[in-house]
Amino acid sequence: MAVNFDSAPISLLKGGAAPKPVATPGDGAAPGFGDALHAILASVDTSAGEANTAVTGMLDGTGDVHDAMIAMQRAQSTLELTIQVRNKLVAAYQEIMRMPV
């Protein structure tokens, strides 16, 4: 079963580019929830690296200030989105732990 990441919210994290699905062990099963989280974290790392590269280029004089600011804003937005996803996951876990058995 193929997974289409083009319409997923994760595609917004890398400036509109769809992330590559992470290979899963097994019999060709679709990527799971953990793989989606891994893809989000990889996109956060990528956007932070791109922002660092843009700022370094700006300081060296080889890059543009506007590009550096856009890359930094994209990295910040990506990190904030990831933090909100983490907060929702923690809240859901806490709610499940409060359920009577």
Q: Which residue has the tokens 């590559």?
A: 20
Residue 63 in contact with residue 54, Cβ under 8 Å? yes
Average pLDDT over residues 41-67: 93
Q: How confident is the model at residue 8 (pLDDT cuts 50, 70, 90)?
A: very low
- What the block records as the tokens of 55 is 């700022």
Check pLDDT > 50 for residue 56.
Answer: yes
Q: Cβ of 37: how many Cβ atoms within 10 Å?
A: 16
Per-residue buried b or exposed e for 2-24, using 16+ beta carbons within 10 Å of the residue's own CB: eeebeeeebbebbeeeebebeee
Average pLDDT over residues 68-79: 95
Q: Cβ of 47: how many Cβ atoms within 10 Å?
A: 23
